[in-house]
Chains A and B, each alone.
Chain A
């Protein structure tokens, strides 16, 4: 075949391959283009100390870096004003019931709003730190709420999940991950 027939065909084939690959990856959910890869994966948990939620009815104990070692845990960034956080809450309750340690970072919330949220929906969190100005969340590289981080027993961040954890994703993503990280 003549070069000037082959060249456009070759370019076309290349485009089909590259774009088809991309389409396949996105379509099958392998690559979620809205999820930013976290810059904190395989890095140590940032240094932070957060006070408990400022209410007297319950003591959420606050949260600090040294709490996040010696066991695999989830750190969930949430707020009462965040509707997807409500969506994923039953999933978190289920995980907590199975014995998974979940820590909460209450992001830019009013104490009594947060309290009511927990009262109505239940409290899956072993400890909650109140990040009222959101600065600690920035240290974690948080940009969308809710976000959930998986932290291993050495205090290293292993995975970040952006958006609510739907019940389907428990089995497809979270549980296998927790298994893998526990080893």
Chain B
């Protein structure tokens, strides 16, 4: 009973694919590589899915193409490159790390750090205000305080 329930839950949560049975290669290791590659290639028709997930006819064509390239002896990189040469870097779900994508990769971290600094400075300012309990003095008030204090010191 528990086993059945567990199996059912596992099936529900495990990732699905749009693949059809006739696409599966006989060679196990090639098929595994093909699945890995498919998950890294964007379906250009349904642009938010990988070709592994997408039901689009082009996705199926590209899945078969990848498998053919692997059968012809391509490495994973060569197969991905084959598709990218024809469809552009947009087809890579993991964008290459190069000059044009530098901002894309580094941007979020940069903004996070920037935000961190802005917030800590704001907190420190708030902490200062809380300790003194008053707004900072204007230059006028500062001069008056100085003169009052110095008068006090003189006495």
Interface residues of A (CB under 8 A from B): 3-4, 7-8, 36-40, 108, 134-135, 138-141, 143-144
Known contacts being A7-B118, A138-B62, is A36 close to B90, with CB within 8 Å? yes
19 residue pairs A–B, Cβ–Cβ below 8 Å: A3-B121, A4-B121, A4-B122, A4-B125, A36-B44, A38-B88, A39-B84, A39-B86, A39-B87, A39-B89, A40-B86, A135-B61, A135-B65, A138-B86, A140-B86, A141-B87, A141-B88, A143-B58, A143-B87
Question: A143 touching B85 by the CB < 8 A rule?
Answer: no
Provide the main secondary structure of the chain B interface.
helix
Residues in A neighbouring B18, C-beta threshold 8 A: none
Q: Is A138 a contact of B61 with CB atoms below 8 Å?
A: yes
Q: Is B45 interfacial (CB-CB < 8 Å)? A: yes
Partner of B88, one of A8, A37, A140: A37
Nearest CB of B to A127, in Å? 23
- Secondary structure at the A interface, as helix, strand, loop or mixed, is loop
Contacts of B58 in A (CB 8 A): 134, 143
Nearest-Cβ distance from residue A109 to partner chain B, whole angstroms: 13
| Interface size bracket, B side | 10 to 19
Taking a contact as CB atoms under 8 Å apart, the answer to whether B125 and A143 are in contact is no
B86 touches A139 (CB 8 A): yes
Task: List the A residue with the shortest CB-CB distance to B65.
Answer: A138
Q: How far apart are A159's CB and chain B's nearest CB, in angstroms?
A: 15
| A142 (CB) vs chain B CBs: closest residue | B58
Q: Chain A contacts of B85 at CB under 8 A?
A: 39
Whether B86 and A141, one on each chain, are in contact in the complex, defined by CB atoms closer than 8 angstroms, is yes
- CA of A108 to CA of B60, assembled, Å: 13
Which of chain A's residues have a CB closer than 8 A to the CB of B88?
36-39, 141
**How far apart sit A140 and B58, CA to CA, in the bound complex (Å)?**
13
State in angstroms the CA–CA spacing of A140 and B86 once bound together.
6
> Closest approach, in angstroms, between the C-beta of B95 and any C-beta of chain A?
14
Report how far A46 CA is from B45 CA in the complex, Å. 22
State in angstroms the CA–CA spacing of A141 and B91 once bound together. Answer: 11
In the bound complex, CA of A37 to CA of B91 (Å):
11
Contact between chains at B45 and A144 (CB < 8 Å): yes
Question: Which of B57-108 touch A at CB < 8 Å?
Answer: 57-58, 61-62, 65, 84-90
Q: Which residues of A contact B87 (CB under 8 A)?
A: 36, 39, 141, 143
